[in-house]
Amino acid sequence: MTHLQVEELPVRKGVVDISEDPDLAYVITVNRYGKPNKTVGLIRHFGGVEGAVGSTVAHDHHNMMIVYRYPEAAQRVYEALVKCGGGISCSGKDQLLQTLELPVFGLMSATNCFDTAEQAEKMKKTLQSIGLDTLNPLLRIVTLGLTVIPEFKYSDLGLVDVLESKLLPIFPE
């Protein structure tokens, strides 16, 4: 379950500054179906992300979601996922670390199950190496956009209050 937490954070040069809080990360959801929709927000307690992790495996919408600490790392992940047609990608602060290519609708591999399983295991270790220390780090990002599970989720249209079925403002005007 995802809870809503309202906080005041510093803004530097027009950007919410999370540099002093290692438990915060940015999250962006980008529409993959030809619409210009995107949402940028924040997430707390995602797990340490010293770089960026992105996925097109994001139930139920399968848009691209990226959780990141550094915009440059998020850009590398974005470009890697666009180039291969989807999957899961991970970048450290300064370089792309690995991409699990899932080019079939951004959800499935085009290779055999043995090679895919091997690449998935490598990706788990890579994600853990940047600080995502959950049991299955491949699935950590998947549920951030699952707008049928309470309480609050991100979509390409904004922050969704699942129980009230409405969009909420992320940043005050």
pLDDT in tens, 148-162: 888 999 999 999 999
**Strand-strand pairing, 96-101 and 152-155:** unpaired
115 C-beta neighbours (distance < 10 Å), count: 11
Residue 53 lies in a domain: yes
Residue 90 lies in a domain: yes
Q: What is the mean pLDDT of residues 5-23?
A: 93
Question: What residue type is 162 in one-letter code?
Answer: V
- pLDDT > 80? residue 122: yes
Confidence category of residue 113, pLDDT binned at 50, 70, 90 = very high
Q: Which of 88, 96, 85, 168 is CA-nearest to residue 124?
A: 88
Question: For position 56, what pLDDT does the model report?
Answer: 95
Q: What is the mean pLDDT of residues 83-92?
A: 96
Residue 1 lies in a domain: no
- The Cα–Cα gap between 124 and 131 comes to 11
Residue 173 lies in a domain: no
Question: For position 141, what pLDDT does the model report?
Answer: 84
Q: Give the model confidence (pLDDT) of 47-66 as tens digits.
A: 878 899 999 998 778 899 99
Domain range enclosing 54? 11-168
- pLDDT > 90? residue 138: no
Number of domains in the chain: 1
Residue 5 lies in a domain: no
More confident: 125 or 140: 125
Q: What is the pTM (predicted TM-score) of this model? A: 0.93
Residue 68 lies in a domain: yes
Question: For position 146, what pLDDT does the model report?
Answer: 87
- The Cα–Cα gap between 136 and 150 comes to 21
Residue 117 lies in a domain: yes
Render the burial of 49-68: b for 16+ CB within 10 Å, e for the rest. Answer: bbbbbbbbbbeebbbbbbbb
The answer to whether the beta carbons of residues 140 and 27 sit under 8 Å apart is no
Residue 145 lies in a domain: yes
